[in-house]
Amino acid sequence: MKAPRTTIQRKLVLAIMLTSTTALVLTGAVLVAREASSLPQLVERELTTRAGILAANSTAALAFQNPDDAVQILAALRTDPSVVAAALYDENGELFATYPKDVAPSIVPKKFGGAAHRIESAHMVVRQPVLEGTRLLGSLYLKSDLRELDERVRTHALVVLCAVLGSAGVAFALSTWLQRKIARPVRLLAEAAQAVSERKDYSIRAQAVSDDELGILAESFNEMLAEIEKRDIALRGSEGRLRQLNTELEQRVAARTSELESTNRELEAFSYSVSHDLRAPLRSIDGFSKALLEDCGDGLGEVGARHLERVRQSARQMGLLIDDLLNLARLSRTEMRRERVDLAAVGEEVMASLTQAQPERRVEFVVTGDATTDGDPSLLRVVLDNLLRNAWKFTSKHPTARIELGQSGNNGRKVFFVGDDGAGFDMAHASLLFAPFQRLHRQSDFEGTGLGLAMVQRIIQRHGGRLWAESAVESGAKFYFTLWEARP
């Protein structure tokens, strides 16, 4: 989280100061304006009062035509420095006495006349009649300097300005203190949020320091954190459990793998010993039976020779069984490759070798459909070798035969088949077809070990496919298989 461009404290102080300063300045301005507008009236009233008193005092001097007394009375104005000049006029309006005594003639008019009050170029002038009862004795003229008035207004403005500045200072101090009260919870909340986001530690709590909306916000924030913490703990817990389960699973897989490996090794050792040790005695049985026939054939007679031939045949049959068993065992152990295989080409090769072994047979071989697929070339060869060899074998009792290898599409999935028109089998026994050592025909009719189809089944399974058959006695048999049904 980056630092904010401006702080909420600064904003709060700014808002408070702007508001209070505006209010203070406006108030001050109103006060000063009011003072400036009311002062002239006040001065005029004062001057009028003073003029009234002077006029009352001057009646005797005017009635007795005594200018010295009049000068004496006017001299009392000395106490007020704002009065610049004063003059008394007789009943005819002629100048009678002045203040100061030798005032410049331009300052006071020679003859009395004009409005009662007026402001004349920075001076206020008051004219007052001097009366005794209702008889007019003369007039009084008073001239006051207004500069003192300006001075008073300026002083007043200065005081107001000082008050405004002082208030602003106090407002600043107050706002600084207040903003701390408001901004502190916000700052604490922001710090807590930042700490949580940086450390991913959901046990952090914001300090709730106010009882207002910010307090509620902090409380809600804490509740939210508590909820997150709860879920975080639950998540960690399930993660831990998951890891533990995973470890257990791995251990079990490892244990199972090592078990399998050891079983595999045992099986290999077993196969090896079967391959070596079971075949050697068989070879002796067959070999010495032959030797017996050759060396002592005459003594055995026809029956003895026939018995010995049976012994030899059994030994050879067992040899074949051992070979097939070993092949079946090897199937599960060899690693599988996955390549493009043309089953038609493989089928042609198998058929060629069968024809070569029995060239007298009349068998028609037909390939239909696209028989290419993916799989282990040598394993698929074993499949076709067994199926075609079976077809070849079970058609051997018929004068002519037809063997077909093909592919029929089925919902976009390839279904391969090998069919013949030979002896076939009863579908009632179809379930035994792929079981090891299970045979549906007598050994005297058709030779075999009963392991060929078991081997085919095993290979098809390793290719993720299915194997099934359709047949009827003496109407031939058709073996179907698919590959890679489980995996694409």
Partner 1 sequence: MTNKVILLAEDNANDEELTLRALRKHKVSNEVVVVRDGQEALDYLFRAGPHAARGATQTPQLVLLDINLPKINGLEVLKRIRADQRTRTLPVVILTSSAEERDRFTAYDNFANSYIRKPVDFDQFTEAVRELGLYWLVLNEPPPATRPKTAI
Residue ranges binding partner 1 (CB under 8 A): 271-272, 275-277, 279-284, 286-291, 312, 315-316, 318-319, 323, 326
Of 173 and 280, which has the nearer Cβ to partner 1?
280
- Minimum distance, C-beta of residue 439 to partner 1, in the bound complex (Å): 21
Comparison of 45 and 310: residue with beta carbon closer to partner 1: 310
Nearer CB in complex with partner 1: 289/457: 289
Please, what is the minimum distance in Å from the beta carbon of residue 300 to partner 1?
A: 17
Of 449 and 471, which has the nearer Cβ to partner 1?
449
- Residue 57 is classified by DSSP as H
| Residue (of 89, 81, 94) closest to 141 by Cα position | 89
Shortest CB 280 distance to partner 1, Å: 6
Whole-angstrom distance, CA of residue 333 vs CA of residue 164? 101
> Is there a contact between 377 and 389 (Cβ–Cβ < 8 Å)?
no
Length of the chain: 488
Q: Side-chain half-sphere of 26: how many Cα atoms within 13 Å?
A: 6
Count of beta carbons in the 10 Å neighbourhood of residue 476: 23
CB of 381 to partner 1, least distance (A): 16
Q: What's the longest Cα–Cα distance across the chain?
A: 209
Q: How far is the CB of 440 from partner 1 (least distance, A)?
A: 26
Shortest spacing between CB 250 and partner 1, in angstroms: 31
* Residues 6+ positions from 197 with CB-CB distance below 8 Å: 1
Q: Find how far residue 92's CA is from the centre of its chain.
A: 106
Residue closer to partner 1 by CB (options 129, 319) is: 319
Task: Give kind and range of the element (H or E) at residue 260.
Answer: helix 213-273
Give the separation between CA 387 and CA 378, rounded to whole angstroms.
14
User: CA end-to-end span of the chain, whole Å?
Assistant: 50
